[in-house]
Amino acid sequence: MQLLSFVLAGLLISRSDAFTERSWDDAYTLANAAVAQLTLDEKLGIVRGDGQLNANRRCVGETTAVARLGIPSFCYQDGPAGLRLVRNVTGFPTGINAASTFSRRLMRARGQALGEEWRGKGAHVFLGPAVDIMRNPKAGRGWESFGPDPYLNGEGAYETVTGVQSVGVQACIKHLIANNQEHWRYGLSANIDDRTMHEIYWYPFLRSIEAGVTSVMCAYNRLNGTSSCHNAGLLGPNGLLQKNGFKGYVVSDWGATHDSASDNANAGLDMEQPGDYIVIGGGVFSGLKAAVNSGSVTTDRLNQMVARILASWYRLGQDSGYPPLSFDTQNKDSTGPKNLRLNIRSAEHTALVREIASASAVLLKNNRSTTDGTPSGTTTRGLPVAASRIKTIAVVGQDAKLPNLNCNDLNECNDGTMSVGWGSGSNSLEFIVPPITAITSFVGTSATVTQSLSNDLNAGATAAAGKDVAFVFVNAMSGELGFYDTVVGNQGDRNDLDLWYKGGSLVERVAAVNNNTIVIVHSVGPVYMPWSTHPNITGIIYAGAPGEQTGPSIVDVLYGSYNPSGRLPFSIADNEAAYGTTIVYDSLGFPSIDYTEKLLLDYRYMDSQNTVPRFEFGFGLSYTTFSYSALSISTSGSSQVITFTVANTGAFAGTEKPQLYLTYPTSAGEPKKVLRGFEEVPLAVGASSSVTITLSERDISIWDTPSQTYVRPAGTFTVHVGASIKDIRLTGTF
């Protein structure tokens, strides 16, 4: 199945609708010509959303059309994992699951499929990807992004933007910058030194610029005391974006503007959304006309704002042949003329979602035993499950059942299988297939399935006692902080790293009565697993937040149709102190948060403290085994070329995800080891493959604040190649 999936991704790429992509120069020529024909009011309608309270608004954000010039109302739509508030669309795996694949191929294919659905529905701008670094594992929206490592986030950003824009849909990367917790996010100040800013939080945005991203969303929070949406150091002519070659436009997060129109426009903000006041802020561009007339915002600056927006539209060919808008988020169930109920789902997208969900499942434990003791023998305990021998099955836990499909528009419920978090980054649950449905369908009449689809401890233990296998489904959820609403007592950020609804206790009770207990964890991030060493727990799969095909994908892994190849995009430790950061919950007003940990996030901090996590960054088992050999390091120009061989030494076909970590010269002041490369290597039984990872000049450089450039430190670098940050197989130096 895995080898065939490479063909599927290729077919997905070839089926996209043709469009004409222009150079930025050509796009700006057209944009400037259009600007010259616009009236002042028409310009203002393009740079300001038409209102959250507008009854005619059909997308989460829109602008005002200029019909006489063929300029439509631009449609901005959530979210990073699928179209929100829209029917007949696909519920994709989340960003954290894309990260767990450690596969650029799947990251790009996911981006393209998302773009195809935005285009199919007539939405111009994909509000994503999110690249907010998971500074703390409890951060409410960490699952929307690609984890705590800047390199992995950067690759997720690059591939997603490339995929989305390959079909003529604008990507809007977010949230600039340091949007790392939900509590107090509407005004907190993230105080970050220059080097940390560049090497950690800015890096994914830099990679998105290199991918040609058309738009950037500025965040609610302040950076070093200045609101992100009127921070000239970020947005202005000499700010980070433009200094690094950004050609597109900056749009505010919804209601993230403050102070005056001139403050925001002159600092570099090009568009305000949604355009009116929505309690927390916004509506400042209502004063933009007066600011232009008074000269506090020049006509040249206004023209530049409009040109940047129109150039992005022209660049991706959205001025010709773009599908009309076919949905209405304010009445998504309507069949009226504004909502055509156009079905853009496809077999290819469903298959891709299922593959990514399977590829992102991380096998954390597998105490496999067979009838004859050989690797290829029939399984009696552990994974993959032998359908021919397992005749009695218990499925335990609320997380195995169908969730509430009538939850609110932000998915602020957790009463079934958790496929996505809550908030504006949630997606459609319309076509979700829960684990219990997939398991019973797969098993058919070949086995008896006993269900206990709650987290009742006694009922779970009763259902599991004496069964050939017990599948226990548990979860932990988080999401976006709205207007200080809560979900099971959690305001966006998680209160702790426990499983919800006493999930840990449920696992322990089932393991006490069943000696073949297999635990499946759906979660937005790390959770405590003190029970992982229990001898009756024969398998643990961390399945993350995998989207609508959560049931079929986990069946593929459990029964061996898909050999798990997911890798942890974060560490799983035994206490919060191991991560070195905190969420600020209580404060007298908006807090100032000093990022004193600097470059030491997650595995970097744990390494600095000699902390051994329960499961480390990059960790993930397979049903087969792999060996590494023949490390070679050579120089090509200013780059270093790392070559090595990976071989499948086990009894199953599988895919290895080799990772490259770099140790800098001591004088560089870098963490002990940092991720600087990874690859995806599918191998048949007995096969081997040569793998090459190239380290660019920037990959082996550090940010030098005095010179404001990346500088390669002098000295000896050590290359570490292996299966995780702790499982290093090969080392070399240059």
Residues annotated as catalytic (active site), given as ranges: 253
Residue that the structure tokens 């830099």 belong to: 206
Strand pairing category for 189-191 and 592-594: parallel
**In this structure, how many other beta carbons lie within 10 angstroms of the beta carbon of residue 371?**
11
Strand pairing category for 125-126 and 75-77: parallel
Q: Which of 184, 187, 156, 160 is nearest to 171 (CA)?
A: 160
- Which distant-in-sequence residues (6+ apart) come within 8 Å of 703 by Cβ? 194, 195, 198, 199, 709, 710, 711
Kindly report whether the peptide bond that precedes residue 274 is cis, defined as omega within 30 degrees of 0: yes
Residue that the structure tokens 């008896």 belong to: 448
Asked whether the beta carbons of 510 and 335 are under 8 A apart, the reply is no
The tokens for 130 are 């999110």
Distance CA 413, CA 489 (A): 11
Distance CA 224, CA 228 (A): 9
- Which distant-in-sequence residues (6+ apart) come within 8 Å of 61 by Cβ? 49, 75, 76, 77, 251, 254, 273, 274
Task: Give me the amino acid identity at 397.
Answer: G
Beta-bridge mates of residue 190? 223, 593
The tokens for 281 are 């802020």
- Backbone φ and ψ for 558, nearest 5 degrees, come out as -60, -40
Q: Which of 288, 293, 241 is nearest to 266 (CA)?
A: 288
Q: Which residues of 293-323 are buried (b: 16+ CB within 10 A; e: fewer)?
A: eeebbeeebbbbbbbbbbbbbbbbbbbeebe
Q: Which of 145, 151, 153 is nearest to 128 (CA)?
A: 145
Kindly state the DSSP code that residue 232 receives in the 8-state scheme: H
The tokens for 363 are 């096998």
Asked whether the beta carbons of 208 and 157 are under 8 A apart, the reply is yes
Q: Which residues of 147-166 are buried (b: 16+ CB within 10 A; e: fewer)?
A: bbbbbbbbbbbbbbbbbbbb
Distance CA 478, CA 138 (A): 8
Q: Which of 61, 60, 80, 77 is nearest to 425 (CA)?
A: 80
Distance CA 172, CA 150 (A): 18
Beta-bridge mates of residue 226? 223
Task: Give me the amino acid identity at 646.
Answer: V
Kindly state the helix (H) or strand (E) to which residue 10 belongs, with its residue range.
helix 2-14
Report, in angstroms and rounded to the nearest whole number, the Rg of the chain calculated over CA atoms. Answer: 25
Sign, CA dihedral 363-368-373-378, equals negative
Q: Which of 26, 50, 46 is nearest to 38 (CA)?
A: 46
Q: Which of 629, 631, 601 is nearest to 617 (CA)?
A: 601
Residue that the structure tokens 């050989």 belong to: 374
- Residues constituting the chain: 734
Task: Give me the amino acid identity at 493.
Answer: D
Asked whether the beta carbons of 146 and 152 are under 8 A apart, the reply is yes
Q: Which of 567, 558, 574 is nearest to 516 (CA)?
A: 558
- Which distant-in-sequence residues (6+ apart) come within 8 Å of 243 by Cβ? none
Asked whether the beta carbons of 247 and 241 are under 8 A apart, the reply is no
Distance CA 159, CA 606 (A): 28
- Which distant-in-sequence residues (6+ apart) come within 8 Å of 404 by Cβ? 413, 415, 416
